[in-house]
Amino acid sequence: MIIAQRKSIKEILEMLEGYKKILILGCRACVTVCCAGGQKEVEVMGSIIRIDRKKRNKAVETIERVIDRQCDAIYFSMVDNLIQESEVVLSLACGVGVNMLAETYPKKLILPALNTGFMGITEEQGVWSERCIGCGDCILGKTAGLCPLARCPKGLLNGPCLGSNNGKCEVFPENDCVWYLIYKRLKGLNQLDKLKAIIPPKDWAKGQPPRKIIREDIRL
Amino acid sequence: MKTALSKGQFVVTAEFYPPKEANKNEVEKRALVLKDVVEAVVVRDNPLAEVHMSPLATTTILLNKGLKPIMHIGIRDKNRLAIQSDILGAVTLGVKAFFCLEDCHQRVGDNPGAKGVFDLDCVQLISIMKKIEHSLVGTRINPFAHPLELHLVNLSKKINAGVDFIQTMPVFDLERFKEFISLIKGENLYLLAGVRPIKSWQALQSMSQMVIPENIVQRIKNTPENKQAEEGIKICVEIIKALKQIKGVNGIHIFAHDWEEAVPILVRQANLK
């Protein structure tokens, strides 16, 4: 899923300064799972904005809603009237949702409440980490299902750097070296030979924005 | 250097950090310390992820002073276009030898917010460097890394990509180094063992990532401060003499860092010149 994190309250309040009717719009997809932009976070955000304005004797009206997805315009119909009526939409979706809102409502100001991080996993409650950079040309078949592009800070494709020692990463010593994990897994699978094949330079033409996938077979 | 290695001479090279300012005099002054003392110098590309004068400019000054530079081309700061452009420029100016390693991450340097490039890794870069006719290409290995098997797989890829020589991280533990040598026996490449003179107790404490036997640590620790540099040289000379006796070691690479004056002393005291 996409992992995101709320911006600082200070930054959010500064962005909203002067607006009196604010729609706070959450998303039930990834950002709900990573506790950044679901129902609960939308309600908390509404309270924070109202308390701030009350403290400063400034008027504000907040409307709080959560829709199934913000990355698909079809779900905006549920809140279309509210978007039209509000002065500004504070989106608690990932950056994709903010873009979708901005493209759908060209005359409406859309502001992001989150910083979008990465595609990752839940390691434990409150801990998420990156697992895929969406490079467009998956090499996991060669690396025992573990991605060096996402997990090695240098994105090395042919093995560890000089600093990898005792299975730990030189740059982030609290992390396991992904090349050590790949080695261990391949050894366990009796496929250590796979480690010896040289992986050629990456074709970044497939991994750079702006990207688009067109599936003619399912287009209407 | 290629000729010296192929003739079986015990080759001495040294590490050269370009200055952190636009200062030609400093490069020339430091180059003169190494001239006629070492076979070649490895000119590093933004070592420790800190901004230094470009290796292309530095190698040009060294060439003009009659030294033989081995130009390090980093993978952290440049993509494949810039790298190939640098190689073409360097060859045109007379550089015949290249070097690469995996580079420190930008996070540990003086521009921690920089975008790391890492478009190529060393295996891929070696293949590109070897496209230059008659080029000599080197890389580095840590013989003390664990598990060594993983690092040796990486080395075998570099050998398959065409690397000519490897230099090791500084050697202090000769027994563990001999184990490493026994594992790479039979590989078709030249090996330069890394050595580093310990300048002081303080310097030694900053070398925590290196494997240093306790007796060496104690020797420096128990030496009065004003004699520690001398003791460091003495230890280094002992290591060089022992390395020279190990079959499969074709020479040494001296990591003197900011202590280049130590290089001619080491070469003289170890009877290498």
Of B120, B140, B149, Cβ closest to residue A162 = B140
Closest to B154 in 3D by CA, of A82, A196, A51: A196
A89 or B259, higher pLDDT: A89
Task: Please name every residue paired with B252 in a beta bridge, in sequence order, or none if there are none.
Answer: B12, B193
The answer to whether B154 contacts A160, with C-beta atoms less than 8 Å apart, is yes
pLDDT reading at A113 higher than 90: yes
**Best to test chain B binding among A133, A151, A162, A180 (most B CBs inside 10 Å):** A162
- Predicted local confidence at residue B102, as pLDDT: 95
B84 inside 8 A of chain A by CB? no
Q: For residue B142, give the nearest of A162, A195, A201 by CB distance.
A: A162
Between A88-97, B43-52, B84-93, B177-186, the lowest mean confidence (pLDDT) is in B177-186
SS3 (DSSP) at A6: strand
Give me the mean pLDDT over the B32-51 stretch.
Answer: 96
DSSP string, chain B: -HHHHHTT--EEEEEEPPPSSS-HHHHHHHHHHHTTTSSEEEE-SSGGG-----HHHHHHHHHHTT--EEEE--SSS--HHHHHHHHHHHHHHT--EEEE-----GGGSS-TTSPP---S-HHHHHHHHTTSTT-EEEEEE-TT-SSHHHHHHHHHHHHHHT--EEEEEEP--HHHHHHHHHHHTT-SSEEEEEE-----HHHHHT-TTS---HHHHHHHHTS-GGGHHHHHHHHHHHHHHHHHTSTT--EEEE--TT-TTHHHHHHHHTT--
Element (H, E) at A32: helix A30-33
pLDDT at A166 (0 to 100): 95
pLDDT value, residue B2:
85
> Which pLDDT belongs to residue A210?
93
What value does the mean pLDDT of chain B take?
A: 95
Residue B1: the pLDDT is 87
Which chain B residues are closer than 8 Å to A195 by Cβ?
150, 153
Distance from CA of B23 to the nearest CA of A (A): 31
Q: Do B154 and A159 touch (CB under 8 A)?
A: yes
Euclidean distance between CA atoms B224 and B206, whole angstroms: 19
Within chain A, all domains assigned CATH 3.40.50.2300 are found at 2-118
Contact A201 B124 (CB under 8 A): yes
How confident is the model at residue A90, as a pLDDT? 98
Within 8 A of B107 by CB-CB distance, chain A residues are 153, 171
The Cα A92–Cα A20 span in angstroms is 18
Residue A7: its pLDDT value, please? 98
Q: Does B82 contact A at CB distance below 8 Å? A: no
Report the C-alpha gap between B83 and B103 in whole angstroms: 14
Return the residue of A nearest to B147 by Cα. A166
A97-110 mean pLDDT: 98
Residue of B102, B147, B156 with shortest CB distance to A161: B102
Residues B150-173, mean pLDDT to the nearest whole number? 96
**Which residue in chain A is spatially nearest to B109 when comparing CA positions?**
A171
Q: Which of B107, B141, B157 sits opposite A196 (nearest CB)?
A: B157
pLDDT at B130 over 90: yes
Put simply, whether A155 touches B (Cβ < 8 Å) is yes
pLDDT of residue B257: 80
Return mean pLDDT, chain A.
97
Mean pLDDT for the stretch of residues A164-175: 96
On whether the CB atoms of residues B204 and B212 are closer than 8 A, the answer is yes
Question: Which pLDDT band holds residue A25 (cuts at 50, 70, 90)?
Answer: very high
pLDDT at A110: 98
Does the pLDDT value for residue B120 go beyond 90?
yes
Q: Is the CB of residue B209 less than 8 Å away from at least one CB of chain A?
A: yes
Query: Which residue from B minimizes the CA distance to A183?
Result: B150
DSSP string for A82-107 = HHHHSSEEEE-S-HHHHHHHHHH-TT
A143 touches chain B (CB under 8 A): no
Contacts of A165 in chain B (CB under 8 A): 142, 145-146, 209
CB contact under 8 A, B118 and A195: no
SS3 A208: coil
What pLDDT does B208 receive?
82
Confidence of residue B188 (pLDDT cuts 50, 70, 90): confident
pLDDT beyond 90 at B209: no
Is B120 in CB contact (< 8 Å) with chain A?
yes
Q: Output the DSSP codes for A162-192.
A: TT-BTTB-SSSTTSBPHHHHHHHHHHHTT-G
Residues A152-175, mean pLDDT to the nearest whole number: 96
Instruction: Using the predicted structure, report yes or no on whether residue A125 has a pLDDT greater than 90.
Output: yes
Q: Which residues of A touch B141 (CB under 8 A)?
A: 162
Q: Once rounded to an integer, what is the mean pLDDT over residues A57-83?
A: 98
- Count contacts between A and B (CB, < 8 Å): 87
Q: Is A166 an 8 Å CB contact of chain B? A: yes
Please say if the pLDDT value at position B186 is more than 90: no
* ipTM given for this complex: 0.94
Residue B102 forms contact with A (CB below 8 Å): yes
Burial of residue A43, with CB atoms counted within 10 A of its CB: 0-12 exposed, 13-18 middle, 19 or more buried: middle
pLDDT of residue B133: 86
Mutation site for A-interface testing, chosen from B75, B100, B102 by largest number of A Cβ within 10 Å: B102
> Is the Cβ pair A159, B157 closer than 8 Å?
yes
What is the percentage of chain B residues whose pLDDT exceeds 90? 92
Q: Which helix (H) or strand (E) holds A81?
A: helix A80-85
Rounded to the nearest angstrom, the minimum Cα separation between B147 and chain A is 6
pLDDT at res. B185: 87
- Of residues B108, B156, B161, nearest to A196 (C-beta): B156
Per-residue confidence at B160, pLDDT binned at 50, 70, 90? very high
Separation of alpha carbons B4 and B96, rounded Å: 14
Taking contacts as CB-CB distances below 8 angstroms, the residues of chain A near B156 are 196
Q: What is the dihedral of CA B119, B120, B122, B123, to 10 degrees?
A: 150
Mean pLDDT along residues B98-113? 96
For the domain spanning A2-118, the CATH number is 3.40.50.2300
Q: The domain B2-269: what is its CATH number?
A: 3.20.20.220
